[in-house]
Each structure stands twice: as structure tokens, then as C-alpha cells.
Amino acid sequence: MDLSVMFFGADDASTVGHATKYDDILAITKAADRLGFTAVWTPERHFQQVGQVFPNPALLSAALAVATERIHVRAGSLVLPLHHPLRVAEDWAVVDNLSRGRAGVSVATGWHSKDFVLAPGAYGDRRERAFRDLAVLRRLWAGEAVEFTDGAGEPVTVTSQPRPYSDHLPLWTTTSGSPATWEAAGRMRTNILGATIGQTREELAGKIDAYRDAYDGAPEQPGSPPRGTVTLMAHTYVGETDEHARERAGGPLKDYLRSYVAQTAANRGGAGRAAALSDEQLGTLAEFAFQRYLTWGSLLGSAGTCRKSLADLADLGCDEVACFVDFGLGVDEVLAGLERLAELREDM
């Protein structure tokens, strides 16, 4: 099974500053490159406490590309309805050239209403736009001339420049858990970027089966591999013992969960049910979620515990685990955990 490193932007950098956070991201990515991890994922975040240092995964991936030698640099995720597909093709072609073919993108539809101040007209039909523009992105990457409307309102055919280093751009579709998105990813013949969070093992097994069936039954797409990759995100910290891992990860992870719930509450496109929760209720919810992560769906524990979790995810049909590492731990703790995770992988 492949293991990659995923940044999610839990720390708001209020105590250390954003410049220092970028130093930490570079240090963690260089370590992951040295230790043999498959990829590093950076997200797209806007206007929230969570993820202040991640407004543009292409820009950050360009920096990571020139600071590394072999690790793949991927967007996890790019909110495609916020962007013109031609600009996405241009930006990621730069990353692909700088990295000599190590670029990859997971496409998300977007979920938070505030993000769409960048493209307010795209919020209502963001799902349809994402899948439509994903197909356009594939055509542009392949060098096909595509027709758009210019500043004078006239149709014009353009070819994306610069040309990428790779013939095909590895693409994922990001899902928060909707079965419809799993099946849509299969029909589009993209890889799938999901999560263990918020669903049972049985629910996830059913979604993976549905994705595989849809993928196998779909027509070939430019650059699509014969078999799609199932990548699952999981909070990760390999400790010296189970107790050590829980002690170090517990506080930061529960603080992160509280921040995430608060961000969800501020989403005008959602139900807003979390907005009425008191601090005490938020604490209870975070504690419940943390205890559930220890039971299933995370890599929080000793090397032996995490080895069993990885074997279980492999049996489930997972091809790659994207390891959330920046949920509030200090950079030295993250690096120590990555060292232990790399040793664990070599033993498997």
C-alpha cells in the first residue's frame, strides 16, 4: 500500500506566524521525500481559521516541487468551480514541468458558501460545473484546442500553454462521503480521494465496491489508468506506544475537531445545526469523535496498532492512505511520527 502525507491546515498559525508555517511545511515535505512517501497533498482553503496558509495548492506545490526530488506533489483538493479550467491547466503544467512529471490533482466541488465569494455565480451548480470542467481539463492537458468566449464576447479557440511535462494529468475526485460522488468518479474514470471519517467500515466497503463497478463499466477516458486508485485520508500519528500516541495527539486533534465544527456551522449552504452547540457540547462531540478514531479509521497509536489498521484498510480495497499530519502537533513531533511510520512501512 502507498502512503502519502496530507496537509489539512488545522493550525491557524496565530502563535508562530504564517512564514514559519511555510518553513514547517517545507521541512515535513523534505522529510517525506527522503523517507520514501509517495506524495504530498496540499489543500485549497479560503477565509477560515482552518487552513489560512493554503489558498492555492498550485502555488505551494510549485515551491515543494523544486525543494524535492521524487515525491509527487498533488492538490488535495482543488475546488474546480472556483477557477477557469484553462487557468488550472496552465498552473499545473508549470508544476508538472518543475517537478518533471510529479504533479497530480484531486478535484472537489466545494462546500463552504464563503469560499464562493471568489465565484458567487458558481455555487448553485458547483457539482455540475466540477464534472463538466474536469472533462475540459483533460482535453486541455492533452493539447486539444478548446473553444471559449473572449473579452469581446466572441468564441475563440485556444490551446493551453505551457505544455506539461507529462502526457496525462493524474486526477482524483474528492468526496466527503456521498455515494453519488463515488459512483460519479467511477463513471468519469478518475481516482477517488475519500476519508475514513464519519462512516463505518461497512459503509465504506459498499462505496468502494460501487466505485469499482462504475469504473469498470465506464468508457475509457484520456489518461485514465486501467484501474482507479482508492486513496483514503486518515489522521495519523505513530507513537512509541498507544498511550504515547493518545497523549500527544489527543489534545491537538480534539482542538482541531472543535475548529472544524465551528467552520461547518458558519456555512450558509449547510443546515447550520452545529451553530447552536455550546462549548461544552462541542467538547463532548470532539471527545466522542476522538474515541471513535481510536477504534477505527485512523493511524493513531503504536507501530503495531497502525500496522493492523493499514492491513485492514488494504483488505477493504484501499490503495493509498493520505496521512493527515498537521492537526496541531509541533513540527518535531510530526517528523518523529513520520520516521516511525516509514519504519513501519518497511516492515510490512
pLDDT, one tens digit per residue, over 201-251 is 999 999 999 999 999 999 999 889 999 999 999 999 999 999 999 999 998
- What is the spatial distance between Cα 48 and Cα 263, in angstroms, rounded to a whole number? 7
Q: What is the mean pLDDT of residues 102-116?
A: 92
- What is the spatial distance between Cα 124 and Cα 186, in angstroms, rounded to a whole number? 23
The pTM (predicted TM-score) of the whole model is 0.92
Q: Does 13 have pLDDT greater than 60?
A: no
Q: Which domains does the chain have, with CATH numbers?
A: 2-347 (3.20.20.30)
- What is the spatial distance between Cα 115 and Cα 68, in angstroms, rounded to a whole number? 30
- What is the spatial distance between Cα 106 and Cα 191, in angstroms, rounded to a whole number? 8
Determine the residue type at 56.
N
pLDDT, one tens digit per residue, over 256-303 is 777 766 655 555 555 444 455 677 777 777 787 788 778 888 999 999
- What is the spatial distance between Cα 343 and Cα 347, in angstroms, rounded to a whole number? 7
- What is the spatial distance between Cα 244 and Cα 318, in angstroms, rounded to a whole number? 27
Percentage of residues of the chain with pLDDT beyond 90? 74
**Terminal alpha carbon distance of the chain:** 9
Q: What is the mean pLDDT of residues 151-180?
A: 96
- What is the spatial distance between Cα 196 and Cα 280, in angstroms, rounded to a whole number? 26
- What is the spatial distance between Cα 171 and Cα 109, in angstroms, rounded to a whole number? 14
Q: What is the mean pLDDT of the chain?
A: 91
